[in-house]
Copies of this chain bind each other. A is one copy, B any other.
Amino acid sequence: MIILNTGDGKGKTTSAVGQIIRSLGHEFRVCLIQLFKGENFYGEQKILVKLDNLDFFPFAKEHPDCIKGVNLDKVVSQCRSAVKKLRDLADVPEKYDLIVLEEFNIALRDKFIDENEFIDIIKRLSQKSNVIVTGRGAPQSLIDIADLVTEMKEIKHPYKKGVQSQRGIEY
């Protein structure tokens, strides 16, 4: 099954994290491939790395839109390494029960990774694993092949009223 968490609202990443916890509770094997998330910043990273049956691969920890002075070539190269990792997972007979691809929609939007190549790999991976892809602005090609698509829709957000991002809530 291919699951897509998209939209401009809160809950895309936290829902994927909850899904990881749910799967681990059934002793399933889980793989998390994360893009654009600074190390030791997000609270969930500190818990997830301690859990059994979860393999965690962070790539391209900084996105040029968020961190000034980031080398774009390095970001693109890191995103391509993430895709290579995915291709390797598709090629081997071993399987994870769940593979979570965090913020890959952003890498697709910014053309850091090739959409057609990504779609092909996801289709193959989903033959043996459940795959969750997160990030706002999912491309139509991914929506088309997904089985379950949820739009996290912002109804009310305090940061619009100038409230600052809060530890334990936003990160």
A residues sitting closer than 8 Å to B (CB atoms) are 1, 3-5, 7, 9-19, 21-26, 28, 42-48, 51, 97-98, 130, 143, 146-158, 163, 166-169, 171
Most B Cβ at <10 Å: residue of A1, A153, A157: A153
Task: Take A143-B155, A151-B155 as given contacts and tell me if A18 and B44 are in contact as well, using a CB distance cutoff of 8 Å.
Answer: yes
Task: Take A148-B157, A156-B146 as given contacts and tell me if A169 and B130 are in contact as well, using a CB distance cutoff of 8 Å.
Answer: yes
A1 to B21, CA, bound (A): 24
Q: Which of B12, B43, B150 contacts A153 (CB 8 A)?
A: B150
Most B Cβ at <10 Å: residue of A143, A156, A166: A156
Tell whether, in the assembled complex, residue A156 and residue B143 are in contact, meaning their CB atoms are under 8 Å apart.
yes
Tell whether, in the assembled complex, residue B11 and residue A15 are in contact, meaning their CB atoms are under 8 Å apart.
yes
Copies in the complex: 2
Q: Is the interface of A mostly helix, strand, loop or mixed?
A: mixed
Q: 11 pairs across A/B with beta carbons < 8 Å?
A: A3-B169, A7-B153, A14-B14, A21-B43, A25-B43, A26-B43, A143-B156, A148-B157, A149-B154, A149-B157, A152-B152
Q: Which of B11, B43, B169 contacts A152 (CB 8 A)?
A: B11
Task: Take A51-B47, A146-B156, A147-B163 as given contacts and tell me if A22 and B3 are in contact as well, using a CB distance cutoff of 8 Å.
Answer: no
Residues of B within 8 A of A147 (CB): 156, 158, 163
A171 to B28, CA, bound (A): 13
Nearest Cβ on chain B to A19's Cβ, whole angstroms: 5
